[in-house]
């Protein structure tokens, strides 16, 4: 059985991640990279509280695009600002904590 390090409850009873998801300061913006490729960059999710790999996987599946986790941020190939926000909200993040730049 896995026990949460923060609250000491078994992982299936722990709500730390749900609470954390409501108190992030997330920004979503576009970045141009080499060869003028556009990337949607999601910044500000605390990787100590939330698994960025899991969120990245969810986004990639929903958007059918490539993506990576790099230096505490998620980079998705292509322009997905609005849809990425909707997916994060569906995953439990509070809408008011997500800012699109």
Which residues contact Zn ion (rule: CB under 5 A)?
A: 4, 6-7, 14, 16
Coil, strand or helix at 41: strand
User: Closest distance between Zn ion and the C-beta of residue 82, in Å?
Assistant: 32
Compute the least distance from the CB of residue 19 to Zn ion, in Å.
8
Give whichever of 30 and 52 is closer to Zn ion, judged by the CB atom. 52
Neighbours of 73 (CB within 10 A): 16
Q: Are 32 and 42 in contact (CB under 8 A)?
A: no
Q: Which is nearer to Zn ion, 16 or 62 (CB)?
A: 16
15 versus 90: smaller Cβ distance to Zn ion: 15
State which residue, 17 or 43, has the beta carbon closest to Zn ion: 17
Q: How far apart are CA 74 and CA 80, in angstroms?
A: 12
CB of 8 to Zn ion, least distance (A): 7
- Which segments within the chain are labelled E, that is strand? 26-32, 38-43, 67-70, 73-77, 98-100
What is the smallest separation between the CB atom of 11 and Zn ion, expressed in angstroms? Answer: 8
């Amino acid at each position: 059985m896995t026990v949460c390090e923060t609250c000491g409850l078994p992982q299936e009873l722990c709500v730390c991640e749900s609470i954390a998801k409501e108190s992030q300061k997330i920004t979503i913006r576009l970045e141009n990279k080499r060869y003028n490729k556009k990337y949607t960059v999601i910044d500000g999710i605390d990787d100590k509280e939330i698994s960025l790999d899991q969120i990245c996987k969810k986004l990639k599946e929903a958007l059918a695009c490539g993506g990576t986790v790099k230096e505490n941020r998620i980079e998705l190939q292509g322009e997905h600002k609005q849809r990425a926000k909707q997916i994060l909200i569906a995953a439990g993040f509070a809408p008011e904590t997500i800012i699109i730049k």
